[in-house]
C-alpha cells in the first residue's frame, strides 16, 4: 500500500507522456426543435434547454396540444421554447414556458431545483422553478413572488446559505437575493455596475461572478473586477484593471472560469484544513467600438486574442496575460474533470448581438493551466456547425461536452444563409474519451458515504476498478458543479480537487481511494456535484454526490 502511494506521487503525467487526440464531434440530434440559448444539467441526468418565447413558432409543438396566449409575435403560440433532454436515451420532450425567458439567468439550489430568474417583457421579473423528476411529468412552475428589478442579461451565483444572488442586467445597476427578504424595501444599488457601462455599447452585461473560498464574491464587468462582501454590501477591494484594450462582457462577450480549487492540508483526523488558493481566468471578448461597428456599419473587427489569469487570493494580485491560438468572442469556457479548461463555440470577428459576428470558431481549444506557458493551448478538431450568438455548451456527467444553439437573428430563421437558426444538438468528446484511453479509464463501483451525501471535511472513500494490474499515473478525485450556461458564461461553475489521503489496492483490479470532503460551504456551496476519479489524465464517468 505504501509502495503504491509512493509510486503514484512519482508518476505525475506530463503532456509529453501522451498524445492529445483532437477529440471527436457527434451530432446527437439534427433538431431538438428549439435553439439552445440556455442549458442546465440536472442531477437526474437530464438537461433543461430553453430559448425565448417571443420569436415566433419553433420547430416543436407544446405538449398536450396546448397553446399559449400573449406572445409578442404570434397571438397564439402552440410551439415549445424549452425541452428536457435525456442524456442516456438521447431523447427529448417539450416543456411549457409561459413568460419570456430571453437572456435570463439561473442557478440550481441545494436540493437540485433549477431556480431561473428574469427574461424580457412579461418575463423580466418572473422567477421560475424546475424540479427534476423521474416520472417525466415535471414542467416549469412560475412562482408567485417576483424579483425586485427586471433581470435581463443578469448573472447568478448560488451562495453558501443556499440563497442565490442575482447581479445586474440591462440598465439595472443593482443586485438582489432569492429568496427575497420581505422586510426590505428594494434591491441593493451597486455603483460598480453603473461605472463599468460603456455608453452606447454596455460591455458589462452578464457580469462574471465567482464565489471565492473566503465567502466574498468576485465580480468582473467590462475590464474591472472587485471583491465584494454581499453580506455587508461593501467592496472589500478592487483588483487591477485587466491588461489590454479589450472589453470582456456582453456584447463584447468573453468568458471566465474560476480555475480548479485544490484542497490541501489536513489535521490528525485527515480533515482538510486549508482554504484553497483561488485563480480566475478570463478569455476573449472584443475591442472597444466593435459592437457599434458590427451593428451600424457591418464591419466585423477581429475579436480579442487574449486571456488573463489573476490569483485573487494573492495579497497583491496581477493579471498574467496569454495569447490564444486565434481570436475569440462568444466562446464558452468549461472546466473538464481533468482540471483543464475547454474553450468552445464563438466567432473570430464581431461581437454578440443580432447579425453582429462572422467567421465562426469551429475549433475548440484545450487549455492546460498547469503546463509550461508555451504549451498550454492545444487546438482541437473542428465542428462543421457554426455556434455563435445564443449558443451554449455544458459538461455532461459522462465527460462529453453537450453543444447546442446559435441564432444571430431577431426571430427563428431556419433558412437564413450562412447562419441559420441552429436547432441541432452535438456532443464533443474530448481527448480523454478516445478509444486509446479506454484502458486507463477508472470505473467508480461505490461511494462509501451514506446516500452519496458528503458533509464538510468528511473523510470518505470511493472504490473503483482499473483494467490494469497497477495504476500508470496519478489518481485524483474531482468534483464539478453542473453550471447554468448562457451567453458564453457558465454560472456557478466550480471544480474542487479533493485532498487524496490514501490509495489502496483491494484486489487485482479494485482500488479504494480515501479523500477528505470540501472544507466549508464557502469553498463548496451545498448541493449536487459530479464526482470523477481521474487516473493518468483519464476521468471515470461521473457520479452524483450531494455536499452538505
Ligand atoms: C421541423 O420539423 C419537421 C418535422 O416536424 C422537419 O421535417 C423539419 O426539417 C424541421 N425543420 C428544421 C429546420 O429542423
Ligand atoms: C431582512 O432584512 C432586515 C432589515 O435589513 C434584517 O434585519 C433581517 O435580518 C433580514 N433577514 C434576513 C433573513 O436576512
Ligand atoms: C488517516 O489516514 C491514514 C492513511 O494515510 C490512516 O492510516 C489513518 O487511519 C487515518 N486516520 C483517520 C482518523 O481517519
Ligand atoms: C476579421 O478580422 C480581420 C482582422 O481585423 C480582418 O482582416 C478580416 O477581414 C475580418 N474578417 C471578416 C470576414 O470580416
Ligand atoms: C431568413 O433569412 C433570409 C436571409 O438569409 C431572409 O431572406 C429571410 O427573409 C429570412 N426569413 C425570415 C422569416 O425572417
Mean pLDDT of 117-138: 96
pLDDT at 70 over 80: no
Q: Is the CB of 184 under 6 A from ligand 2?
A: yes
Q: Nearest C-alpha to atom 3 of ligand 5 is from which residue?
A: 416
* Residue 71 pLDDT level (bands cut at 50, 70, 90): low
Residue 286's nearest CA partner among 321, 249, 323, 257 is 249
pLDDT of res. 21: 79
pLDDT of res. 1: 32
Residue 118's nearest CA partner among 141, 139, 147 is 147
Question: Would you call 452 helix, strand, or coil by DSSP?
Answer: helix
Dump pLDDT digits (tens) for 273-291. Answer: 899 999 999 999 999 999 9
pLDDT of res. 30: 98
Q: What's the mean pLDDT when you consider all of the chain?
A: 94
Q: Nearest C-alpha to atom 11 of ligand 2 is from which residue?
A: 181
**Buried-state track 482-498, b at ≥16 Cβ within 10 A, e below 16:** bbbbbbbbbbbbbbbbb
CA of 182 to the centre of ligand 2 (A): 8
Counting from 1 in the atom list of ligand 4, the atom nearest the Cα of 359 is 13
Q: Is the CB of 423 under 6 A from ligand 1?
A: yes
266: left (phi over 0), alpha (psi -120 to 50) or beta: beta
User: What ranges do the domains of the chain cover?
Assistant: 436-547
Mean pLDDT of 5-9: 32
Q: Nearest C-alpha to atom 3 of ligand 1 is from which residue?
A: 59
Dump pLDDT digits (tens) for 294-345. Answer: 999 999 999 999 999 999 999 999 999 999 999 999 999 999 999 999 999 9
Q: What percent of the chain has pLDDT over 90?
A: 93
Stretch among 5-14, 26-35, 89-98, 234-243 having the lowest mean pLDDT: 5-14
Residue with cell 485524483: 476
Residue 60 cell numbers, joined? 416543436
Could you please state the CATH topology (level 3) that the domain comprising 436-547 is classified under.
Answer: Immunoglobulin-like (2.60.40)
Mean pLDDT of 246-268: 97
Candidate from 159, 177, 183, 231 with most ligand 2 atoms within 8 A of CB, to mutate: 183
Ligand closest to 266 (CA) is 3
Counting from 1 in the atom list of ligand 1, the atom nearest the Cα of 59 is 1
Beta-carbon contacts of residue 373 (< 8 Å; ≥ 6 apart): 322
pLDDT at 10 over 80: no
Number of helices (H), then strands (E), belonging to the chain: the values are 3, 47
Identify whether the C-beta of residue 173 lies closer than 8 Å to the C-beta of residue 157.
Answer: no
Q: Is the CB of 358 under 6 A from ligand 4?
A: yes
Candidate from 31, 62, 407 with most ligand 1 atoms within 8 A of CB, to mutate: 31
Counting from 1 in the atom list of ligand 1, the atom nearest the Cα of 420 is 13
CA of 200 to the centre of ligand 1 (A): 38
Q: Is the CB of 186 under 6 A from ligand 2?
A: no
Q: Is the CB of 414 under 6 A from ligand 1?
A: yes
Q: Is the CB of 413 under 6 A from ligand 4?
A: no
Dump pLDDT digits (tens) for 239-251. Answer: 999 999 999 999 9
Amino acid at each position: 500500500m505504501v509502495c503504491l502511494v509512493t509510486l503514484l506521487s512519482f508518476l505525475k503525467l506530463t503532456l509529453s507522456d501522451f498524445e492529445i487526440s483532437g477529440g471527436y464531434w457527434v451530432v446527437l440530434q439534427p433538431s431538438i426543435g428549439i435553439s439552445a440559448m440556455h442549458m442546465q444539467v440536472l442531477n437526474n441526468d437530464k438537461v433543461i434547454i430553453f430559448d425565448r418565447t417571443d420569436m415566433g413558432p419553433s420547430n416543436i409543438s407544446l405538449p398536450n396540444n396546448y397553446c399559449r396566449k400573449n406572445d409578442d409575435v404570434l397571438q397564439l403560440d402552440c410551439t415549445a421554447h424549452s425541452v428536457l433532454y435525456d442524456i442516456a436515451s438521447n431523447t427529448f420532450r417539450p416543456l411549457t414556458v409561459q413568460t419570456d425567458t430571453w437572456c435570463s439567468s439561473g442557478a440550481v439550489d441545494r436540493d437540485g431545483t433549477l431556480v431561473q430568474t428574469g427574461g424580457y417583457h412579461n418575463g423580466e421579473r418572473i422567477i421560475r422553478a424546475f424540479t427534476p423528476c423521474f416520472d417525466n411529468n415535471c414542467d416549469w412552475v412560475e412562482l408567485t413572488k417576483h424579483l425586485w428589478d427586471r433581470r435581463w442579461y443578469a448573472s447568478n451565483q448560488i451562495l453558501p446559505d443556499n440563497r442565490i444572488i442575482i447581479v445586474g442586467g440591462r440598465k439595472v445597476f443593482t443586485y438582489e437575493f432569492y429568496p427575497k427578504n420581505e422586510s426590505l424595501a428594494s434591491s441593493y444599488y451597486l455603483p460598480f455596475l453603473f461605472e463599468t457601462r460603456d455608453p452606447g455599447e454596455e460591455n458589462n452585461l452578464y457580469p462574471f461572478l465567482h464565489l471565492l473560498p473566503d465567502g466574498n464574491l468576485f465580480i468582473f464587468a467590462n475590464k474591472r473586477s472587485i471583491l465584494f462582501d454581499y453580506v455587508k454590501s461593501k467592496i472589500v477591494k478592487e483588483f487591477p484593471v485587466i491588461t489590454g484594450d479589450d472589453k470582456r462582457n456582453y456584447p463584447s462577450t468573453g468568458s471566465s472560469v474560476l480555475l480548479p480549487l485544490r484542497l490541501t492540508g489536513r489535521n490528525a483526523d485527515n480533515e482538510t484544513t486549508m482554504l484553497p488558493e483561488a485563480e480566475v481566468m478570463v478569455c476573449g471578448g472584443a475591442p472597444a467600438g466593435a459592437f457599434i461597428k458590427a451593428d451600424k456599419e457591418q464591419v466585423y473587427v477581429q475579436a480579442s486574442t487574449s486571456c488573463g489569469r489573476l490569483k485573487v487570493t494573492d495579497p497583491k494580485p496581477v493579471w498574467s496575460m496569454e495569447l490564444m491560438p486565434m481570436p475569440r468572442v462568444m466562446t464558452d469556457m468549461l472546466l473538464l474533470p481533468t482540471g483543464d479548461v475547454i474553450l468552445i463555440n464563438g466567432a473570430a470577428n464581431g461581437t454578440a448581438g443580432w447579425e453582429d459576428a462572422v467567421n465562426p470558431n469551429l475549433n475548440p481549444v484545450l487549455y492546460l493551466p498547469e503546463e509550461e506557458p508555451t504549451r498550454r493551448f492545444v487546438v482541437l478538431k473542428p465542428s462543421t456547425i457554426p455556434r455563435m450568438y445564443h449558443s451554449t455548451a455544458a459538461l455532461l456527467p459522462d465527460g462529453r461536452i453537450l453543444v447546442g444553439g446559435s441564432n444571430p437573428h431577431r426571430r427563428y430563421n431556419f433558412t437564413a444563409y450562412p447562419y441559420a437558426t441552429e436547432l441541432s444538438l452535438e456532443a464533443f468528446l474530448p481527448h480523454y474519451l478516445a478509444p486509446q484511453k479506454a484502458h486507463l479509464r477508472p470505473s467508480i463501483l461505490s461511494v462509501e458515504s451514506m446516500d452519496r451525501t458528503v458533509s464538510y471535511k468528511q473523510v470518505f472513500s470511493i472504490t473503483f476498478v482499473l483494467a490494469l494490474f497497477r495504476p500508470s499515473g496519478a489518481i485524483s478525485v474531482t468534483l464539478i458543479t453542473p453550471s447554468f450556461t448562457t451567453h458564453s458564461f457558465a454560472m456557478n461553475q466550480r471544480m474542487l480537487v479533493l485532498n487524496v489521503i490514501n490509495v489502496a489496492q483491494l484486489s487485482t483490479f479494485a482500488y479504494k481511494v480515501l479523500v477528505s470532503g470540501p472544507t466549508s460551504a464557502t469553498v463548496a456551496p451545498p448541493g449536487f456535484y459530479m464526482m470523477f476519479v481521474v487516473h493518468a489524465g483519464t476521468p471515470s464517468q461521473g457520479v452524483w454526490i450531494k455536499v452538505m
